[in-house]
A = this chain, B = another copy of it.
Amino acid sequence: MQQKSVHLETIVEGMKSIQTAISTALEDLDGRGRFNSDHWVRPSGGGGCSKIMLEGDLIAKGGVNFSHVHGPMPERIANGLGLTPGVEFHATGVSIVLHAKNPFVPIIHMNVRYFQTSGGKHWFGGGIDATPIYIQKGEAVSFHQLLKSVCDRFPSHSYLKYKTWADRYFYLKHREETRGIGGIFFDHLAADDEPTKQMNWEFVQEVAAAFVPAYESLAQPNRLKAYGERELEWQALRRSRYVEFNLLWDKGTRFGLDSDGRTESILMSMPPEAKWVYNHNPLPDSPEADTLLHLKPTDWLGLETKHGLEKAYPTRN
């Protein structure tokens, strides 16, 4: 780890590199789909570049978005963060959501972000989580092992802490279900002194570097599996829950809209299609019913009991 100082410009360029590296690797993985870039300017400062893939071989709809927005902080955001409205802020990051064509391939999401204000606050945040349409235990375990291996390389970062944070964050209170199998989520990672900032920036970059391998391990064994109307119907139902989470509860979506981000870029996270079926209940003992049973915070790696940690079961209130 080099002990050079990490400037805002370094982080912004680093975020752009993350976007380029991941979008290139995803094109290779997809084989057919290509990302189209849309550059946008935010009237009150900054802008971004959205890379969108539509109707690929693997990816039905996916976005890899970079943004760097700055200017005086909008009031609603300042209030939410306990900061003074009007203070100058910079927010930069990469957000990814991939909706696969095949219902056996999970939806995946990654975000890495950096935030600073002229009042001297700086922090990193981010995470990776997966939302299978059909949950398979072995797959969930491998996914979490990979995320754990990233955290384990850093003495000051804890997989268990970030995993339970994801369980709490990616939770649909109104459905009493998790969004999927979770992953890791972290926020407000300090960047106040140079060594800490350097180390946390390394960590965020390592999380981003784990994204494509994580998605490959979820996508490759499943992308050619046969499916029919039943699986597509279930996919459309699960996608409606994804919509509900993002529009009702996701703070990133809310931040984007409240900070006058580009709506089409923020809502690239929406699935190509979703269905709402009133009072839907899957057949007993079906793979669909089994998936619902797994939509709760789950100790995939058997670590929480071992460490005597209390599990994070969020309740509705």
**Residue ranges of A at the interface with B (Cβ–Cβ < 8 Å):** 38, 52, 54, 61, 63, 74-75, 173-175, 236, 240, 243-244, 247-248, 257, 260, 263-264, 266-268, 270-279, 316-317
Q: With contacts A263-B174, A263-B175, A273-B273 known, is A278 near B248, CB below 8 A?
A: no
Please give the distance in Å from A64's CB to the nearest CB on chain B. 13
Across the interface, A264 reaches (CB within 8 A) one of B54, B263, B278, namely B278
Complex A-B, nearest 4 residue pairs according to Cβ-Cβ distance, in ascending order:
A247-B247, A270-B276, A174-B263, A174-B257
Residue contact B240 to A278, C-beta cutoff 8 Å: no
Q: Find chain B residues with CB under 8 A from A248 CB.
A: 247-248, 257
Interface of A is mostly: mixed
Q: Can you give 19 contacting A-B residue pairs, CB < 8 Å?
A: A52-B279, A174-B257, A174-B263, A244-B247, A244-B267, A248-B257, A260-B317, A264-B278, A268-B278, A270-B276, A271-B276, A272-B275, A272-B276, A272-B277, A273-B273, A273-B275, A273-B276, A274-B275, A274-B276
Q: Find chain B residues with CB under 8 A from A38 CB.
A: 279
Q: Find chain B residues with CB under 8 A from A272 CB.
A: 275-277
Given contacts A52-B278, A54-B278, A271-B276, 5 further A-B contacts (CB under 8 A): A61-B276, A75-B317, A174-B263, A244-B267, A273-B273
Q: Complex Cα distance A277/B267, Å?
A: 10
Q: Find chain B residues with CB under 8 A from A243 CB.
A: 243, 247, 274
Q: Complex Cα distance A276/B278, Å?
A: 21
Q: Complex Cα distance A244/B250, Å?
A: 13
Residue contact B236 to A273, C-beta cutoff 8 Å: yes
Please give the distance in Å from A26's CB to the nearest CB on chain B. 16
Please give the distance in Å from A307's CB to the nearest CB on chain B. 32
Stoichiometry, as copies per complex, reads 2
Which residue of B is nearest A273, CB measured? B275
Which residue of B is nearest A266, CB measured? B174
Residue contact A317 to B244, C-beta cutoff 8 Å: no
Residue contact B273 to A316, C-beta cutoff 8 Å: no
Q: Complex Cα distance A315/B74, Å?
A: 14
Please give the distance in Å from A232's CB to the nearest CB on chain B. 12
Q: Complex Cα distance A277/B270, Å?
A: 9
Residue contact A264 to B279, C-beta cutoff 8 Å: yes
Q: Complex Cα distance A38/B277, Å?
A: 15
Please give the distance in Å from A257's CB to the nearest CB on chain B. 5
Q: Find chain B residues with CB under 8 A from A236 CB.
A: 273
Which residue of B is nearest A257, CB measured? B174
Please give the distance in Å from A284's CB to the nearest CB on chain B. 19
Residue contact B316 to A260, C-beta cutoff 8 Å: yes
Which residue of B is nearest A246, CB measured? B247
Q: Complex Cα distance A268/B279, Å?
A: 9
Q: Complex Cα distance A271/B277, Å?
A: 9
Q: Find chain B residues with CB under 8 A from A54 CB.
A: 278
Most chain B beta-carbon contacts within 10 A, residue among A174, A175, A271 = A174
Q: Find chain B residues with CB under 8 A from A271 CB.
A: 276
